[in-house]
Structure 1
């Protein structure tokens, strides 16, 4: 699984928030579900919907209240960001996340 720095930071923040709110076991279970959703992209990278409004080549899938943004590089998904669906997605800027590995 390839993660851009922004996506890695997003997953760590989700883990920390979940641990504080639900406890370590439930947060771990939730994060494992997100990671399983991301891993499914390895077999089916085209399964997400195109999200060109956020950046050229971006796609996304949803998992339990989160939107997983990714791009396809060499036939493999690269996770760009993992954002809660209640955030103002229209205001998101992925320029830096798309340029760094």
Structure 2
């Protein structure tokens, strides 16, 4: 797989994660966390079947965990679509 797209809701999630992290932990930590999420996307590009089924979420949207966040994605044709990036404490079924 060679390309990925971050859907609008996931982009909003990233902005929220970054703003919260800057406020709570500082810019260097926030930057590092986003780099880690980018590494998660790269891992999904290399191994799209690595995700697991999340209880209560359709099997067409698997999930890969990164620290305390869950990256929900879909594979459509030859493209990885990042659907949402949600904190583990959020009501995930409600957001998808």
Q: Same fold (TM over 0.5)?
A: yes
1:76 Cα deviation from its structure 2 partner: 2.7
Mapping for residues 86-101 of structure 1, pairs under 5 Å:
86-92=89-95, 94=96
Q: Among 56, 66, 71, which residue is 1:53 paired with? A: 56
Runs of 4+ in 1 over 6 A off after TM superposition: none
Aligned to 1:32: 35
Higher helix share: 1
- Quote the Cα distance in structure 2 between the aligned partners of 1:66 and 1:22: 16
Give the alignment's Cα RMSD to 1 decimal.
Answer: 1.6
Deviations 1:21-49 (A, max 9, x none): 11111110011101111111011111101
- TM-score, L = length of structure 1: 0.83
Q: Among 28, 43, 46, which residue is 1:43 paired with? A: 46
Aligned to 1:21: 24
